[in-house]
Structure 1
Amino acid sequence: MPIRTRTALLLTLALTAGGLTGCSALAGYEDCEGSEERVRALGALAILDNPPGKATPPRGYEKVDAGCWDDSGDAWVYANRAYAFPGTPEEVLRHYRTAAPRDGWRPGRTRPPAHGETIDLCFTRDVDGTPTVLTVHSLTRESFTSAGDAFPPELATGSGFGIEATADAAGAPTDCEG
């Protein structure tokens, strides 16, 4: 899915940058073996199924996409959803700034959204003892087409967004900064 691809690309970039600064990107390499329980825990997070009113998943993206990938030098577990929302980005931001803390998530970094995005939030919390990051971000035509996916027509109007929980498969600390 585009959300997973976007995160994988960001993780690859961060790990490559770490390797260029003298840190080994392969140090502590883990694979996805044994990650099934963490994947299930992320996929069951209530916040993934708690969008603002009138938000609906685009056709083909009706369910939580959850799994593990280990193609970036480290293994990461993830669970994500995509939503079409007829309202404004401000309504999405307002919703998650309230709903996420109610669900135990702590606000993370605040920075201007990336080019073409109007929604960009990050939260952290432990999920079954594993440090986990929750992001809410705009879904743009570019984010779908760069991953080779067709842009769902439901996202052409309003404020399409994705919500994703990620964690290191081995349980290593992670936060909104990296």
Structure 2
Amino acid sequence: MKLKAVAVPVLVVAGGMAVIAATGVWALSGGLYGCTRADEELAPTLASLSILDAHPSRTQPRHERHSGCDEDDGFAYAGQYYRLTTSRADVLAFYREAAAKDGWRLESASSSPSPAPGGLAVDTSALCFEKPVAGTTAHLAVWFPGDLGDSADDFGLEVTASHDGTAWC
């Protein structure tokens, strides 16, 4: 009888510790952080979207298309940079029309998306669109690296999406 009285609490404590350890391993291996398998599989879908191929006639693709999954924030992304060989206004007008024709809905527009001096860059997109893609909401950003003090000769398109809703422009 005494052995049973000691064995039950020991087994309960050991079982609880096993559950806590398994939860810790799960959390550290991506359960609470990083990309889900669904979002990792979403990245190639985003990279194949036709809007990333659309660009004003006088602009040229720059570098290879990039895609992947942002482990820090847990969302899939794909993007393309272009050499800016026309005015910013022409680029923005082009994407307002091209995105609308491709089913994207304008979510926001900013004439000066760069952060305030000494401030954090929260949303640097000049245009932000959204549309359903593969069972989630995708966000398309048109942005200019020059707004962040980088190359004033480029502009970029970036599509982000996540099955848990953590993506944004």
* TM-score of the superposed pair, with normalisation by structure 1: 0.64
Offset at 1:130?
1.1
**Alpha carbons of 1:113 and 1:29: their partners in 2 closer, same or farther (altered >3 Å)?**
farther
Offset at 1:33?
4.0
Matches within 5 A, 1:54-73: 54-58=58-62, 61=63, 63-71=64-72
Larger RCO (CA within 8 A; separation ≥ 6): 1
- Count residues with an aligned counterpart: 130
Percent of residue pairs bearing the same amino acid type: 33
8 Å contact kept, 2:125–2:141: no
Runs of 4+ in 1 over 3 A off after TM superposition: 141-144, 173-176
Q: Does 1:132 align with 2:126?
A: no
**Alpha carbons of 1:141 and 1:132: their partners in 2 closer, same or farther (altered >3 Å)?**
closer
RMSD over aligned Cα atoms: 2.6
Q: Secondary structure at the match of 1:108?
A: strand
Q: Does 1:43 align with 2:56?
A: no
**Aligned residue for 2:13?**
none
8 Å contact kept, 2:161–2:168: no
**Aligned residue for 1:121?**
127
Query: Which one has the largest radius of gyration?
Result: 2
Q: Secondary structure at the match of 1:67?
A: strand
**Aligned residue for 1:162?**
156
**Structure with greater strand percent:** 2
Offset at 1:141?
7.9
* TM-score of the superposed pair, with normalisation by structure 2: 0.67
